[in-house]
Structure 1
Amino acid sequence: MCEGNTESTQCFVKECRISLLERPKTDRLVVDWSDACRGHCGEQEWRMVAAPTSGRCAFSGAEIRKGDPVFKPKRSQASPNADEMILASAVPESIEAGDGQLTEHPYLVT
């Protein structure tokens, strides 16, 4: 289930906490990732790429097909979540830290 708060957009999928902190450019995303098995990656920069493989969106749980536009952790940063993907269509077009924006994804709202 995704829920918004005053500082970020958060989602709890696959026993991890993902906060979308900022989207400084259309092809960039700043993520706070917390996972009991892999630890915490704060203010991690993700970049938009074509999905290298099929999979599942870490933020929304939606299906990802090879070639879909996704965000992945920046390659130059060695990270335990390097294999994860966030579907670009699951991310709001504008996210600014502390702007009070509340975001819900229609396919996750019950």
Structure 2
Amino acid sequence: MNEISLWEQMVTQFAPLFGTGSHVPVCRTVDVAGRCRRDVASMQSIGGVRARSSIVSVERQTASSVLVSWSDPTCCRYDEQRWISAKSRMRARCALSGQVIRLGDSVYKPQWRGAKRPANGAEMILTNELERLIVELGCH
């Protein structure tokens, strides 16, 4: 069992203490770098908000891109990661609100180039939820 799997197993054991009624999803597959890949659409929420990841800050760069400081205690942490506007190509859950993302919904997703995909590369945030957060934080 690798280090990430051990960490996820520990987090999974604590989930019942927080009243989620279900366990945190465990690692489905591991890529060549040893990072976990999960089924994003099946990740659990608490009161409509995902319990695992948190967005610390958001800074608008252009009309179609933002810098996001992202943290997931079981997976990764990125400071000032560039997220770009796109249309969803799959069903998923919004990393910010936990709402269902449908095919074709307007979303923001991490931008990546080359062969090395970021650990949160499959995550998405609904555009309207991100815009709401930007207004709330006063980051115009």
Task: Please indicate, yes or no, whether the TM-score normalized by the shorter chain is above 0.5.
Answer: yes
Distance, in Å, in 2 between the alignment partners of 1:94 and 1:41 is: 18
Q: Cα RMSD over matched residues?
A: 2.4
Gaps of 5+ in 2: 1-48
Q: So what's the TM-score if we normalise by structure 1?
A: 0.69
**What stretches of structure 1 of length at least 5 have no aligned partner?**
1-11, 103-110
Q: Aligned to 1:30, which of 63, 67, 72? A: 67
Q: How far did residue 62 of structure 1 move?
A: 1.3
Which of 76, 79, 83 is equivalent to 1:42?
79
Partners of 1:56 and 1:91 lie apart in 2 by: 13
Show CA shifts across 1:75-108 (max 9, x none). Answer: 2173100000000011227949xxx629xxxxxx
Q: 1:51 aligns with which of 88, 93, 110?
A: 88
In the TM superposition, what are the counterparts of 1:92-103 in structure 2 within 5 Å? Answer: 92=131, 95=134, 101=138
Larger radius of gyration: 2
Give the Å deviation of 1:39: 2.0
Higher strand share: 1
- 1:88 and 1:23 map into 2 onto residues whose CA distance is 13
Shift of 1:63: 1.3
> Does residue 117 of structure 2 align to residue 78 of structure 1?
yes
Quick one: structure 1 residues 34 and 66, their matched pair in 2 at CA, closer, same or farther if it must change by over 3 Å?
A: same
Shift of 1:18: 1.1
- Aligned counterparts of 1:87 and 1:94: Cα–Cα separation in 2: 11
Paired-residue identity, %: 32
Distance 2:90 2:130 in 1: 19
TM-score, reference length from structure 2: 0.55
**1:42 is paired with a residue of what secondary structure?**
strand
Q: Per chain length, whose mean CA-contact separation is higher, i.e. which structure has more relative contact order (CA < 8 Å, sep 6+)?
A: 1
What residue in structure 2 maps to residue 15 of structure 1?
A: 52
